[in-house]
Amino acid sequence: MNRSIPCVLMRAGTSRGPFFLREWLPDGDEARDQALIGAIGASDPLQLDGLGGGSTLNSKVAIVSRSSQPDCDIDYLFAQVGVGHRSVDTRPNCGNMLSGVAPFAIEQGLVAAQNGTTSVRVYNVNTRSRIDVVVRTPGNRVTYEGDARIDGVAGTAAPILLNFLDAWGAVTGQVFPTGKRIDLIDGIEVTCIDAAMPLMIVRAADLGVTGAEKPAALDANAALLERLESLRLEAGRRMGLGDVSNSVIPKPVLVNAGTSRDSITSRYFTPRKCHASHAVTGAIGVASAFALPGTVASGIAREPGQHGLIVLHPAGQIDVQVELAGRAEAATVERAALVRTARKIMQGELHLPDYVFPRSEEQGASSSGFARKSLTIIVPTRAGGGNDTMARIIASRLGPVLGQEVVVDNRAGANGAIASEYVAGASPDGHTLMFGYVGTHAMNPALQTVGYDPVRDFEPVGLVGSSSTLMVSHPEKGASDLQALIARLRAAPRSFSYASAGDGTPPHFAAELFQLSSGTSMASATYEGAAPAIADTVSGRSQIMFPSLFTAYPFIKAGRLHALAVAGPKRLEAFPAVPTLAELGVPGVDVAQWYGLFAPAGTPASSIQRLNQALNEVLADPEVVERFESQGAKVEAGPPTALRQRVNDDLSRWQAVVAEGALAAQEAPVPVLD
């Protein structure tokens, strides 16, 4: 595997990312995706080890090749790379990155430049649609210098015209996939439209906002995000996209009247966070719904022909030229065009890290050999949370003991099910382990149907440790004590929101048990892991959380969170003045968290034994014990049988809790991405 590959880094529209010729990347989708993860530095939330910028807007990749389509010049495959977790998604599209594709292709010799301007027909592989792109090429060379200005980007540059030819219905097969221009979902009128990007458009006023708010204000409105996501999930089903809880499409959009008859105000979500400006493909969809009659976004009646429309967004506006055919209900959008700009930032050689290719090394190694092949620990949560921190402490000490490289791979999503299913299906050769915990192996399987069996699909390696659960609140936006919180919630239900790390995780179960026992109701917001959940609790976006002591300890010590109570049978040594919930009159909330290493079922007993011995040696290290205890966790070493017994006991316990409390019937919390 070549670890050094050519790369061009470009700012394209209001996005930024590396551009590659397909031939520069490894063969095969899996190897290609690992290379992209290494290029962006996806494993780190700050993306310090790659070209990413810690945001989805600059964790994007464009892959370009000569077109396989007879009427197109080049193929463009867009890839959205994860932020803080190793994932590559080629289902969505990005019109901003598209604006850099034609200049890149011309400079790489895929298309001959003409004198003046060069038109390039691009085939977007993601959406199977064609786009004509016009680039300025004076003297048969691409120029990035010009006087075009787009909102969200400093300065001016050469205009790049994007003319979308057949993006309507590109993903679902229909412009209006539900067969209607307006659907009624939970009492709210929405328009489900597939125009360059599948969208669910809602009138802002119908959800109690103006649609002119700043993104931060909308992001802080937990109730709005909860309602919007609930609508989006149903819209995805009606659009034929299936379960979209782990997909970024359809994108939800809030619209309101613009400042003129040709403008519309839009707030575009990605989907669980408001875009700082607006996606290009999203602007095409919004402009199409604005131009066509009978949608929630419809403007004035328009005659056939070209119309210059404006999509107003938080950073300015996007001008879209829409061509209509037909009138009234027979009206259709034939094409849409808009102007973007791009700039080449640098071109050179990109060095990929070895750790993103854990499975490509030494394929001939034996199933029990540990010397030459790396060991990967899959963590089911995003980087930065308690689970991830523990896993990295263990991994850093396990490598020297085993005499091999040990890497941590964060595969967050579906409340731990993505990581669990991945490990359950991995080769049982002793080189893939899972840092599982009570959520993945007891709570989540008890709450809902998952694609793995927490008992049959895994070989326990050994317990790692445990941590108590606390009820914490924001010191200013939360409650000063439990009695005040309960009184407020009984007087004004859902006046506080709680953050959880996902359905079937300890923070979720603890919050649900608390509400059942106290007779209260809180709004909910679900995050992909404890790290973003507690971050938003610290910021005050959510006011209450039930994190592990390991996760909450540094924030409580720093005064950024207030400990209300212990969700367990006894007080904690770290905070002896904090009472238990039972002491305060709320019994039955006992949520202990434990962590352990698991291998795929069928892993040889000899491998399990060696891994267990190495793990217990690491857990006996005084420095590891001190690091755990300094953050409120307790080391728990032991044989594989002890972990198996813990799984069996807790799985039975939480199945009974779900049945008795009817937790599975509770309204699902809202997924939130940062």
Residue pLDDT, tens place only, 260-296: 999 999 999 988 889 888 888 899 999 999 999 999 9
| Interacting residues of 630 by C-beta distance below 8 A, sequence separation 6+ | none
Q: Which tens digits make up the pLDDT trace of 654-674?
A: 888 888 765 543 433 333 333
Please provide the distance, in angstroms rounded to a whole number, between the alpha carbons at the two ends of the chain: 33
Number of continuous H segments (helices) and E segments (strands) in the chain: 17, 29
What does the pLDDT read at residue 370? Answer: 35
Q: Which tens digits make up the pLDDT trace of 229-238?
A: 999 999 999 9
Helical residues (DSSP H) of 220-279, grouped into ranges: 222-238
Both tokens of residue 471? Answer: 């009820």
Both tokens of residue 55? Answer: 């945001």
Residue count (the chain): 674
Helix (H, G, I), strand (E, B) or coil at 409: strand
What does the pLDDT read at residue 582? Answer: 93
Q: Which tens digits make up the pLDDT trace of 165-207?
A: 877 787 788 899 999 999 999 999 999 999 888 999 999 999 9
Whether residue 145 is predicted with pLDDT greater than 60 in this model: the reply is yes
What does the pLDDT read at residue 664? Answer: 44
> What is the pTM assigned to this prediction?
0.48
Q: Where are the beta strands (DSSP E) in 13-115?
A: 15-21, 60-66, 74-81, 88-89
Burial class (CB in 10 A: 0-12, 13-18, 19+), 458: buried
Q: Which tens digits make up the pLDDT trace of 77-102?
A: 999 988 777 788 887 778 889 999 99
Q: Calculate mean pLDDT across residues 138-156.
A: 90
What does the pLDDT read at residue 544? Answer: 95
Burial class (CB in 10 A: 0-12, 13-18, 19+), 497: buried
Q: Which tens digits make up the pLDDT trace of 524-545?
A: 888 767 778 888 899 888 999 9
What does the pLDDT read at residue 359? Answer: 46
Note whether 405 and 399 are within 8 A (CB).
Answer: yes
Q: Is the peptide bond before 250 cis (omega within 30 degrees of 0)?
A: yes
296-315 as b/e: b if 16+ CB within 10 A? bbbbeebeeeebebbbbbbb
Q: Which tens digits make up the pLDDT trace of 613-656?
A: 999 999 999 989 988 887 778 899 999 999 999 999 999 988 88
What one-letter code names the amino acid at 613? Q
How many other CB atoms are found less than 10 A from the CB of residue 345? 12
What does the pLDDT read at residue 45? Answer: 75
**Selection from 91, 396, 355, 110 nearest residue 249 by Cα:** 91
pLDDT, mean over the chain: 87
What does the pLDDT read at residue 661? Answer: 62
Q: Is the peptide bond before 271 cis (omega within 30 degrees of 0)?
A: yes
Q: Calculate mean pLDDT across residues 310-328.
A: 87
Q: What percent of the chain stands above pLDDT 90?
A: 51
Note whether 256 and 212 are within 8 A (CB).
Answer: yes
What is the Cα–Cα distance from 67 to 76, expressed in whole angstroms? Answer: 8
Whether residue 428 is predicted with pLDDT greater than 80 in this model: the reply is yes
What is the Cα–Cα distance from 206 to 190, expressed in whole angstroms? Answer: 10
Note whether 441 and 647 are within 8 A (CB).
Answer: yes
What DSSP designation does 595 have? E
Q: What percent of the chain stands above pLDDT 70?
A: 95
Q: Which tens digits make up the pLDDT trace of 559-608?
A: 999 999 999 888 888 899 999 999 999 998 989 899 999 999 999 999 99
What does the pLDDT read at residue 361? Answer: 40
What does the pLDDT read at residue 149? Answer: 83
What does the pLDDT read at residue 66? Answer: 95
Burial class (CB in 10 A: 0-12, 13-18, 19+), 242: exposed
What does the pLDDT read at residue 663? Answer: 58
Q: Which tens digits make up the pLDDT trace of 356-398?
A: 765 444 343 333 333 346 899 999 887 767 788 889 899 888 9
328 versus 323: the higher-pLDDT residue is 323
Q: Which tens digits make up the pLDDT trace of 48-73?
A: 889 998 877 789 999 999 998 999 99
